[in-house]
Each structure stands twice: as structure tokens, then as C-alpha cells.
Amino acid sequence: NPSVFSAIEMAPRDPILGITEAFNADTNPNKINLGVGVYYDDNGKVPLLACVQKAESILIEQPTPRTYLPIEGLAAYDKAVQELVFGADNAVIQERRAITAQAVGGTGALKLGADFLKRFSPDSEVYISDPSWENHRALFESAGFKVNNYAYYDAATHGVNFPAFLAALKAMPKGAIVVLHACCHNPTGADLTQDQWGQVIDAVVTNGLVPFLDMAYQGFGAGIAEDGAVVRRFTETGVPLLVSNSFSKSFSLYGERVGALSIVASSAEEASRLLSQLKRVIRTNYSNPPVHGGKVVATVLATPELRQLWEEELAAMRVRIKATREAFVQKLKDKAPGHDFDFVREQVGMFSYSGLTKEQVAKLREQSIYAVDTGRICVAALNSKNIDVVVDAIAKVL
Ligand code: PLP
């Protein structure tokens, strides 16, 4: 007898998890996975930050019962996040125009924002960069939106096709929701200059667009304040604004699922209405967020010594990525003269669109080196032990 389940088809495989599966099945002991989306240290391990361990020790010394958190999360966490994302002296905080809710990672923050927007702007369409983080489209579609791409990456220069991007923004209808990567664009590593951001902000304001800044890598680009500068610039315009942020990478807290959604309103009174509605969205999704990760991050951010330690540990990750880019470019210059990889140095954050073709990626796989078909490599998956192997393999397939 057919059941309600019998006609359900197999869903398509996740392209990135597919790489992980193939990688795990590879018996070559020297295999290298550049397809990952996490930061590895120079030993090829996901770090456990010392600031996190210290915060956890503090929390263990003061055991507390596991009550429910408020719907919008731990108050100390929401406050600390707001100050980090907007800058502590930002007028939107002083004037109580910003609301922040703890979310289940950056993904959870995006989904809350998407569900919220669908309730109050149901006919808007969403625009994401071409290409974008592979979950953006599915996530906004699952909230019921039509999702379009805007021109962004230029394969010829390995950078941003800024004139095309700006033209796309200017052509969007009023009320369109535009998802922007605040820093460290995933997957390309191609970011805007501050001057280009100024032009983007002008276009968003003039055209009446709804900006949704996704900031999953604050501190991985130029620094915590530098990477957050674009958020601050948007708040100065007075337009409605949504910001999703994640601590998965910056605290190496992937599995704890710590992120937040912030929304900027035009007044404190409007903000309180928005928060009441956002709480309904949360309530009907998962009621309230988990405790542990939020407490760890709030403890680190609010304890001066731990905060200092975190900033140092984050800086070390950022510096290692930059040094790795430099080494990668230099080594390719030696091993593959005539091929220009200088653009890898200009790219920002964990990823690089390396320019490797699908065919070249397939040939790398024959040498047990795994990358995404698009040529995206995770620069943080390179380290002092594997970089020469990778460079030699790339030189062979060029
Ligand atoms: N947004 C972007 C651009 C990302 O790259 C990621 C993670 O890779 C996320 C959001 C999701 O973050 P999280 O893992 O905290 O859900």
C-alpha cells in the first residue's frame, strides 16, 4: 500500500557535503580537503580558542539550572552583540532603535529575518549576489520569496564587477530586499572598497531598497571594527536595516550555533513593535534559543581579559590566512611561472575563487586534493605542511 511517504524523491546532494563524503572515503593518507567551510589552524585542526575554554571554566564554577532563556535570548548576549555589530557608541543603540535577538547560528539569524520580512513585506523579491553562499537562495525561497541574482563576481579580473553590480542595484524595484555580504564574501573572497560601499549605500537609499547585511566573518577581513564599518555606515543613513551575524568562525564555535539577528528601526517605539513581532517568529520556530554558546560569547565579550584574549586569537587567525595567501601566491609564482595568481592576495576572508576550472578541480581530485567544482578553495585549509603539495598539484593541472 502506498503511504504519504512512498512517492517522495531523493533530495539532491549538498555539493559541499558531497566533497566531504568523497574525501572521507579516500584512503590516501595524504589527502587534503580544501572544500571545507571552516577555519583550520596550522595543524589542520579546528581550534578550540583559549578565551572559550576560560569562559567555560568560569561557567562551570558557577553552575546554574537550565531554565528557558527569554524568547529573544540572553539579555547580556544581545547587548554585547549589538555593541560588537554596530559599535558601542552607535546612535541606534543610544536611541534604542536597534533590536537584537540571539539566533541559532548565522543561518538561524537569516531564517528569522527572512520569515520576519515575509510577514511584513510579502510581495518583495530578494536579491543575492551571483554567486553567493550556497544556502542564501534556498533559505529565502523556503521562507516563500522569489530569489534573484545580482551581478557581482567578474571571472576575468577575479574581483567584483562593480559597474554591473551598481547597475543591478539601481534597476531593483523599490522595497526589494538586497542581501549583502558585509565582509569576506563567500564564496569568492572579492570584497568592495570603502568608496564602492559608499556608492552601494547611496543606491540602496535612493532606490528605497531593504538592505540585509550578512556578516558571518567579522574580524577575518581587516579587523573587528574595520569589518563592521559597513554596518555602521548603513545605520548613519537612517534606512531600515537587518543584520545577521555569526560567531561560528570568529569564536570557532560552529557546533554551538551562536549568531544573532539585529534590526534597526526609525524610532524606539517602532523598535519595540518590531521586537514583539520578531518574538512571534522565534516562538513559532523554536520557542527560544539554547543557553551554552550564548553564555560563552557573552562572558568573553563582557570580561575585559577574555575580550582581549579573543581579539588576539581572532587576529592570529586573520593574520595566518593573510600569510597563507601570500605564501600561496609566491609558491605558485615559482612553480607555475606565467600563471598569475596575484589576485589571491587581494581576496579577503577564508575563501578564494581560485580560477581553477571544473576540469582542473577534477584532476586535483585524482591527486587526493579536494576543492569545490566552482574553484572555491578554503585558504584556511592550507598550512605549512600541505601547501607545497597543493601548489605542486595545481602547477601540474594548469
Ligand atoms: N552566511 C554566510 C555568508 C556564511 O558563509 C555562513 C557560513 O558558512 C553563514 C551565513 C552561516 O553561518 P552559521 O554557520 O553560523 O549558521
Classify 340 as helix, strand or coil. coil
Residue 13: its pLDDT value, please?
82
Cα separation, 263 vs 275, whole angstroms? 9
Query: Distance from the CA of 245 to the center of ligand 1, in angstroms?
Result: 8
How is 279-308 classified by DSSP, letter by letter? HHHHHHHTSS--SHHHHHHHHHHHSHHHHH
**Beta-bridge partner residues of 128:** 149
**How many Cα atoms are found within 13 Å in the side-chain-facing hemisphere of 39?**
29
**Residue of 115, 127, 112, 107 lying closest to 37 (CA atoms):** 107
Is 313 near ligand 1, meaning CB less than 6 Å away? no
In contact, 117 and 139? CB cutoff 8 Å:
no
Query: Distance from the CA of 229 to the center of ligand 1, in angstroms?
Result: 19
In contact, 172 and 209? CB cutoff 8 Å:
yes
Q: What is the dihedral of CA 288, 292, 297, 298, to 10 degrees?
A: 70
Query: Distance from the CA of 109 to the center of ligand 1, in angstroms?
Result: 10
In contact, 208 and 216? CB cutoff 8 Å:
no
Kindly indicate whether the domain formed by 15-48+307-397 is annotated with CATH number 3.90.1150.10: yes
Query: Distance from the CA of 189 to the center of ligand 1, in angstroms?
Result: 14
- Owner of C-alpha cell 520569496: 145
Is 228 near ligand 1, meaning CB less than 6 Å away? no
Cα separation, 205 vs 202, whole angstroms? 5
- Model ipTM? 0.99
How is 325-338 classified by DSSP, letter by letter? HHHHHHHHHHHSTT
Q: How far is CA 237 from CA 201, 202, 209, 223, 282, in A?
A: 8, 9, 12, 23, 28
Nearest CA to ligand 1 atom 12: 106
Is 259 near ligand 1, meaning CB less than 6 Å away? yes
In contact, 242 and 212? CB cutoff 8 Å:
yes
Query: Distance from the CA of 246 to the center of ligand 1, in angstroms?
Result: 7
The CA R_g of the chain, rounded to the nearest whole Å, is 21
**How many Cα atoms are found within 13 Å in the side-chain-facing hemisphere of 279?**
12
Residue 266: its pLDDT value, please?
97
Which fold would CATH assign to domain 64-303? Aspartate Aminotransferase; domain 2 (3.40.640)
Is 37 near ligand 1, meaning CB less than 6 Å away? yes
Catalytic amino acids? 133, 214, 249
Residue 253: its pLDDT value, please?
98
Nearest CA to ligand 1 atom 13: 106
Q: How many CB atoms lie within 10 A of CB 183?
A: 26
Q: How far is CA 168 from CA 204, 336, 347, 393, in A?
A: 11, 37, 22, 38
Ligand 1 atom nearest to CA at 105: 15
Is 90 near ligand 1, meaning CB less than 6 Å away? no
Segment 90-142, tens digit of pLDDT: 999 999 999 999 999 999 999 999 999 999 999 999 999 999 999 999 999 99
Cα separation, 290 vs 102, whole angstroms? 9
Cα separation, 243 vs 110, whole angstroms? 8
Q: Which residues are within 8 A (CB) of 126 and not within 5 positions of it... i.e. 6 or more apart?
A: 114, 140, 145, 146, 147, 148, 176, 177, 178, 179
Query: Distance from the CA of 216 to the center of ligand 1, in angstroms?
Result: 5
Residue 14: its pLDDT value, please?
81
Classify 246 as helix, strand or coil. strand
- The amino acid present at 39, given as its one-letter code, is Y
In contact, 54 and 394? CB cutoff 8 Å:
no
Return the best residue to mutate from 140, 183, 186, 243 for the ligand 1 pocket (most ligand atoms within 8 A of CB).
Answer: 186
Q: Please tell me what DSSP assigns to residue 44.
A: S
Q: How many CB atoms lie within 10 A of CB 316?
A: 13
Q: Which three cell numbers stand for residue 236?
A: 548613519
Task: Note the Cα 96 to chain centre separation in Å.
Answer: 26
Query: Which residue numbers in the chain have pLDDT < 50?
Result: none
Q: Which residues are within 8 A (CB) of 58 and not within 5 positions of it... i.e. 6 or more apart?
A: 299, 303
Return the best residue to mutate from 102, 110, 128, 133 for the ligand 1 pocket (most ligand atoms within 8 A of CB).
Answer: 133
Domain ranges of the chain: 15-48+307-397, 64-303
Residue 191: its pLDDT value, please?
98
Residue 199: its pLDDT value, please?
98
Ligand 1 atom nearest to CA at 181: 3
Is 214 near ligand 1, meaning CB less than 6 Å away? yes
